[in-house]
Amino acid sequence: MMLCDQCRDDGITGLLMASQNGHTDIVKILLEKDPNVDLCDNDCCSPLLQASQKGHTDIVKLLLERDPNVDLCNNDGCSPLLQASQNGHTDIVKLLLEKDPNVDLCDNDWCSPLLQASQNGHTDIVKLLLQKDPNVNRCNKNRLSPSCMLLMESQKGHTGIVKLLFGKYHNDGCSPLYIASQEGHTDIVRLLLEKDPNIDLCDEYGCSPLFKASQNGHPDIVKLLLERDPNVDLCNNDGCSHLSWASQNGHTDILKSFLGKDSNVDLYHKDGWSPRNITSQNGDTDIVKILLEKDPNFDQCHKDGWSPLIKAIYKRHSDIVKLLLKKDPNVELCHKDGWSPLNITSQNGDTAIVKLLLEKYPKVDLCQISGCSPLFMASQNGHTEIVKLLLGEDPKIDYATMNVYLYYSKL
């Protein structure tokens, strides 16, 4: 063995150590002695691999002049090209590619140089590698390929990587669109739409790109997707429409965009929740106003009998109650347990809402299942002003549970 190839117990030679640590002048001196440039340490790391990994461009140049094995990998299967691609050393990648390495050579986890460059957002390196026509569908052990990285880069917002990979992408393209729509990457959505993907293609839960953009509040992306005439009434597996999610989350601009496309305001969740039920419960007055302009079914109930009016009353949203009452809903429509709007508000003590309801001439003696009337509930809970209001409507004093009005009332 030549003196310059002598190594420590771990197999590290002087050339390898100098290459790893970036000592260019020492590498020059050692190379004059014609060492074995492919001599590796106990982990099979060569001088070229270490210099490529660490980004020592001048040393890589010197080593390449000695025609080393550019595909020599360490024990993890990492080649010099993979290490340089992963770490973003563009100049070193250029130098290595001049030696025609195997661009599809993968590490022990089946990660290729292109996959690593794509995953880490190294756009210039992706460009260089694509010029060598690599296999963009080669997967790692996690079943990720550079094509699959469209998903990842869409999620990160790496527009440049998406542009480069998209021309090589062999699948539908809807999945990257789904991720970009979900994450709010408008420029990437615009780019992906140029390829005419199936914009109504859904995930396993029945959610489309438009659904995710609506749910997460990305109005510009919603507008872009709506220009492609998607099914605006497409619902997920739970029966939630785009309109429902926009309403629930208070996304006013998105809601207006859907209504401009004549989205069905009466579509409801499988449990019976409609956009009006949801917004009446949440107290979002502006959303309720917008929905009411479309003359929806004001008496459409949840499966348990919650109408928009009952929900608004139960949650004590007085402004929404006023808006709903202007549309002449059925003020005697009851919850499945027999609770009418007047019964609920009499129990809660909302005097202002009781006044509003009484203007609609409801049945003041309408009782819930256990026989409690509005007057009974107001009396039981000590709501004096409401008792007075109800008595002004000439209710049946003795018509209710156990004739105990006067027992509870402090009149």
Does any domain span residue 201?
no
Q: Which pLDDT tens digit goes with each residue over 167-191? A: 555 444 345 677 778 878 888 788 7
Angle 16-17-20 (CA atoms, 0-180°, nearest 5)? 85
Residues 378 and 292 in one domain: no
Of 324, 374, 325, 370, which is closest to residue 349 (Cα–Cα)?
374
CATH code of the domain in which 385 resides: 1.25.40.20
What's the CA gap between 362 and 253, in Å, rounded? 37
Q: 244 or 179, which is more confident?
A: 244
What does the block give as tokens for 18? 């100098």
Counting DSSP H helices and E strands in the chain, the numbers are 25, 0
Does any domain span residue 173?
no
Contact 189, 230 (CB under 8 A): no
Residues 95 and 3 in one domain: yes
Residues 358 and 310 in one domain: no
Residues 344 and 397 in one domain: yes
Q: What is the mean pLDDT of residues 47-66?
A: 96
Contact 245, 215 (CB under 8 A): yes
Does any domain span residue 345?
yes
Residues 12 and 54 in one domain: yes
Does any domain span residue 375?
yes
Question: Which of 102, 132, 151 corresponds to the end of one domain?
Answer: 102
Residues 319 and 351 in one domain: no
What does the block give as tokens for 325? 């009452």
Q: What is the mean pLDDT of residues 120-126?
A: 81
Residues 305 and 341 in one domain: no
Confidence of residue 83 (pLDDT cuts 50, 70, 90): very high
Q: Which pLDDT tens digit goes with each residue over 276-324? A: 566 666 667 888 888 888 777 666 666 666 788 888 888 888 888 898 8
Domain count, the chain: 3
pLDDT at 289: 86
pLDDT at 176: 64
Q: Quote the domain boundaries for residue 36.
A: 1-102
pTM for this predicted structure: 0.58
Q: 346 or 334, which is more confident?
A: 346
pLDDT over 80 (residue 223): yes
Of 34, 32, 42, which is closest to residue 7 (Cα–Cα)?
42
Residues 325 and 383 in one domain: no
Does any domain span residue 205?
no
Residues 355 and 401 in one domain: yes
Q: Which pLDDT tens digit goes with each residue over 365-386? A: 776 666 788 888 888 899 999 9
The runs of H, that is alpha helices, within 22-146 are 24-31, 47-54, 57-64, 80-87, 90-97, 113-119, 123-130
